[in-house]
């Protein structure tokens, strides 16, 4: 990856003696051990719908949440709602975030979602950010990895339909958290009826275009690079060849 402007990421520091118990009751994944590195996680609505996704890192007396900058304020607000009398403090940090696909620098952490996503480093001087938007997007599409603002929509998406189990973003053994019951019910269905998939697009199509099959709505196009794209599909209507406007959409899995 070439040097580029960093991803729009913010760090929320969670401190206080109740920080671990507090987060365990809200996040879809268990907190990482101090020596473990990063864990990918999310916070859900009571109806089980996605609100925000982030990385968690235990560092000293704090837990760091690495979150999309556009989600930082709503996530802070959501977390604050549940503080009540718990000994928990929340603050936005100026810790820098660096991302890259090159050899992993000392002190950096592998991205826990997929090896193809490289590494992440926090507050390390001398570690250059090597994030490149187009290369990142192509990598996400190749490995069917959703992102906030593209495939992940607050108060709309269900995390199991958006591959969170495959991406190590949910722990079914950790106990209760907000939205857990809905997620568990979806887990124990025979199969999901909707979900994220990779498709090939033949012809010009824009992100957000409705996908149809035999004249019926079958899904929606999301991230597109070249002729490769991610699509949210109704699997019962997904066919080998579908349409998105004037373009053909080929279901590849």
Query: pLDDT tens digit string along 203-250?
Result: 999 999 999 999 999 999 999 999 999 999 999 999 889 999 999 999
Count of other CB atoms within 10 angstroms of residue 148:
19
Please state which of the ranges 67-76, 84-93, 125-134 shows the lowest mean pLDDT. 125-134
Q: For the whole model, what pTM was predicted?
A: 0.93
- Residue 202 lies inside a defined structural domain of this protein: yes
CA 48 to chain centre: 15
Residue 225: predicted pLDDT: 96
Residue 232: predicted pLDDT: 97
Residue 2: predicted pLDDT: 32
Quote the CA–CA distance of 56 and 81 in Å, as a whole number: 19
- Picking from 142, 171, 205, the residue at the C-terminal end of a domain is 142
DSSP codes joined into one string, 41-83: EEEE-TTS-EEEEEEEEEETTEEEEEEEHHHHHHHHHHHHHTT
**CATH number of residue 213's parent domain:** 2.40.30
Structural domain harbouring 202: 193-251
CA 217 to chain centre: 26
Q: Which residues contact 189 (CB under 8 A, 6 or more apart)?
A: none
pLDDT confidence tier of residue 191, bands split at 50, 70 and 90: confident
Mean pLDDT value across residues 156-162: 96
**pLDDT of residue 52 exceeding 60:** yes
Residue 36: predicted pLDDT: 86
CA dist list (Å): 217 to 37, 125, 221, 239, 248: 42, 50, 12, 12, 14
Mean pLDDT value across residues 64-71: 96
**CATH number of residue 14's parent domain:** 3.30.1360.120
- Residue 178 lies inside a defined structural domain of this protein: no
**pLDDT of residue 167 exceeding 90:** yes
Number of domains in the chain: 2
Q: What is the chain's Cα-based Rg?
A: 19
**pLDDT of residue 162 exceeding 50:** yes
pLDDT confidence tier of residue 190, bands split at 50, 70 and 90: low
């Amino acid at each position: 990856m070439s040097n580029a402007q960093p991803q729009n990421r913010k760090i929320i520091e969670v401190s206080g003696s109740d920080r671990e118990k507090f987060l365990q009751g809200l996040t879809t994944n268990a907190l990482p051990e101090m020596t473990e590195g990063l864990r990918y996680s999310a916070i859900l609505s009571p109806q089980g719908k996605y609100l925000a996704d982030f990385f968690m890192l235990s560092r000293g007396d704090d837990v760091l949440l690495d979150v999309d900058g556009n989600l930082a304020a709503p996530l802070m607000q959501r977390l604050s709602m549940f503080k009540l009398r718990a000994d928990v403090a929340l603050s936005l940090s100026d810790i820098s975030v660096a991302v890259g696909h090159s050899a992993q620098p000392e002190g950096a952490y592998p991205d826990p979602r997929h090896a193809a996503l490289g590494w992440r480093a926090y507050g390390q001087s001398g570690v250059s950010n090597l994030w490149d938007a187009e290369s990142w997007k192509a990598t996400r599409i190749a490995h069917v990895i959703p992102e906030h603002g593209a495939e992940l929509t607050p108060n709309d998406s269900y995390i199991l339909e958006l591959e969170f189990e495959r991406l190590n973003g949910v722990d079914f053994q950790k106990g209760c958290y907000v939205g857990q019951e809905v997620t568990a019910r979806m887990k124990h269905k025979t199969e999901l009826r909707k979900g994220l998939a990779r498709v090939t697009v033949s012809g010009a199509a824009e992100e957000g275009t409705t996908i149809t099959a035999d004249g019926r709505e079958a899904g929606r196009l999301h991230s597109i690079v070249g002729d490769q794209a991610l699509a949210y599909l109704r699997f019962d209507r997904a066919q080998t060849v579908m349409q998105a406007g004037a373009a053909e959409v080929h279901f590849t899995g």
